[in-house]
């Protein structure tokens, strides 16, 4: 599985934080910080918008680095992705991701085969 697929199955290469990082786009960082601050009800600064993907080496957003419960769980179990977990289909942590991204589920199901 390519390294840009997150533990949850999302493709990090399509994330605006990833795009801003690889393109060193400060305007995009400012826009994303504003949107994510409003969406999450927390103060997110443009300096926090740096991420090369949750499974890749390198910088990560504070959320991806230390707050994401899915990442913590998969890493704690030693899984490459949640596709390796026998509880994937019933996981409460993954259900919100799957409700919003059928591609995430497909990516993880492909990892199971």
- In the chain, the percentage of residues whose pLDDT exceeds 70 is 97
Task: Express each pLDDT in 92-107 by its tens digit.
Answer: 999 999 999 999 999 9
Confidence tier at 112 by pLDDT (50, 70, 90): confident
| C-beta of residue 73 within 8 angstroms of C-beta of residue 93 | yes
| Cβ atoms < 10 Å from Cβ of 80 | 13
Rounded Cα distance, 70 and 49, in Å:
20
Length of the chain: 113
- Residue 106 three-state SS: helix
1 confidence band (pLDDT: 50, 70, 90): low
pLDDT averaged over the chain?
A: 94
pTM of the entire structure?
0.89
The ranges assigned to domains in the chain are 12-112
DSSP at 105: H
């Amino acid at each position: 599985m390519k390294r840009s697929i997150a533990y949850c199955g999302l493709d990090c290469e399509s994330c605006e934080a990833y795009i801003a990082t690889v393109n060193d786009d400060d305007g995009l960082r400012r826009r994303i910080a504003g949107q994510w601050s409003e969406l999450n009800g927390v103060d997110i600064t443009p300096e926090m918008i740096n991420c090369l993907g949750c499974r890749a080496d390198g910088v990560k957003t504070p959320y991806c680095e230390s707050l994401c419960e899915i990442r913590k769980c998969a890493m704690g179990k030693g899984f490459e992705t949640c596709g390796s977990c026998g509880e994937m289909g019933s996981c409460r942590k993954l259900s919100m991701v799957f409700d919003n991204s059928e591609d995430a589920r497909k990516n993880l199901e492909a990892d199971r085969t």
